[in-house]
């Protein structure tokens, strides 16, 4: 699970930036953390 999350981290970040996090089912807290990491 952790490895999968790390591998898709940048992809999820790009998707979140595009405003389409719903497709990945990313919760708001994870979206915030992803934004902080970048």
Phi and psi of 11, rounded to 5°? -65, -45
Work out the number of other CB atoms within 10 angstroms of the CB of residue 34. 19
In tens, the pLDDT along 5-35 reads 455 556 655 555 555 555 566 667 777 788 8
With 50 as the cut, is the pLDDT of residue 1 above it? no
CA torsion 27-29-33-36 (nearest 10°) is 120
pTM of this prediction? 0.27
Q: Which domain holds residue 29?
A: 2-37
Q: What is the pLDDT of residue 26?
A: 61
Please list, in sequence order, all residues whose beta carbon lies within 8 angstroms of the beta carbon of residue 30, skipping any fewer than 6 positions away.
12
Phi and psi of 22, rounded to 5°? -60, -35
- What total number of domains does the chain contain? 1
Q: What is the pLDDT of residue 38?
A: 75
């Amino acid at each position: 699970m952790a490895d999968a999350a790390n591998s898709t981290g940048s992809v999820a970040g790009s998707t979140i930036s595009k405003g389409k996090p719903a497709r990945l089912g990313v919760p708001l807290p994870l979206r915030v953390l992803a934004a902080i990491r970048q």
